[in-house]
Amino acid sequence: MSPPPTHPLAPLGWDTRVAEAVEGFAEPGRVVRVEYGAVVVGTSAREVVADWTAKAARAAGIDASPVVGDWVDIAETADEGVVVVARAERWSSLVRHDPADDHAEQVLAANVDVIFVVSAADRPLNVRRLDRMLALAWGSGAQPVLVLTKVDLADEVERDLAAEVAGRARVVEANGVTGEGMASLRSALGSGTAVFLGPSGVGKSTLVNALCATEVMATADVRDRDGKGRHTTTTRELWPVPGGGVVIDTPGIRGVQLWDPESGVDAHFSDLAELAQQCRFRDCAHGGEPGCAVADAIATGTLSRDRVGRWLELRVESDGWAERQVEHDRAQRRDGRPRRR
């Protein structure tokens, strides 16, 4: 899926898949940054700020604001200047629960091929947060890669634990300062689009700068007292990588509440989900029921009790989410209001 080297939009990720998605667009481009009430769009001829209004949305038939990574069509209007008039269908989207609205989603990035889930190995691993981020990544439709930074300060226990939590996701150890492991990270990116996901202070912006071979993102040292970052990245932004590929940096996130978590959770814990199919009862809760294949695996030492507990915790959250959404949709229909999704 290598982009044609002569196409002017190749640096932003243009390939045959994009060409098909934007067929019929008058001036196709990619959203490289989102600003208040507008998006910055890179096209073959320019980089322009395009307004995003309710009027434009209705005219374009789009039900949600464009986000970084979207492929859109723009046009000049007499009264509003440059506006987005269409958005191509997304083939993947990184979505979490909107922290400001219990019944809404927040799309962090669109049309990504790889999600680099970044964790710093110089501090105790937050396995539950890492589980959530990897489940979020698996649910996006992109390929997750766990990136460990600052491994020179880690012990073998932390590195082994990280590999166990990663499950079937690829693990890459990389240092954006020394360059160690950057070839592996570059290989994982290929010619696709990758988004960096992780809390502040783990080195996401340093890795972006190393891949881009220039300081496109500001960086800062972590605080000495607690090892936490200082949120030097304040917006999501897309950057071309020399030699092909595109990266998107994101502000550090601490809380990760999954949106529609079922698919991502089962993909992250795919071995447990498959094993659960061997239980005697289809509704087995894996809490001691007779014929429970998961309990048998724990008893024989094949499975970690802690890992199973983390899986079940996210499964319970998934079931609760589905029930809340069903009730919310019923209430919306009773009140005669459209569903907000």
pLDDT in tens, 195-214: 999 888 888 989 999 999 87
Q: What CATH number does domain 269-334 carry, 1.10.760.10, 3.20.20.70, 1.10.40.50, 3.40.50.2300?
A: 1.10.40.50
Rounded-to-integer distance, Cα 195 and Cα 115, Å = 5
Question: Which CATH number applies to 93-249?
Answer: 3.40.50.300
Determine whether domain 10-87 maps to CATH 2.40.50.230. Answer: yes
Residue 229: pLDDT band with limits 50, 70, 90: very low
Average pLDDT over residues 250-265: 70
pLDDT at 178 over 60: yes
Q: Domain locations in the chain?
A: 10-87, 93-249, 269-334
The model's pTM = 0.84
* pLDDT at residue 228, rounded to an integer: 47
pLDDT tens digits, residue range 285-338? 898 889 999 999 999 999 999 999 999 988 887 665 555 555 555 555 566 655
Instruction: Give percent of the chain above pLDDT 70.
Output: 79
Rounded-to-integer distance, Cα 329 and Cα 207, Å = 42
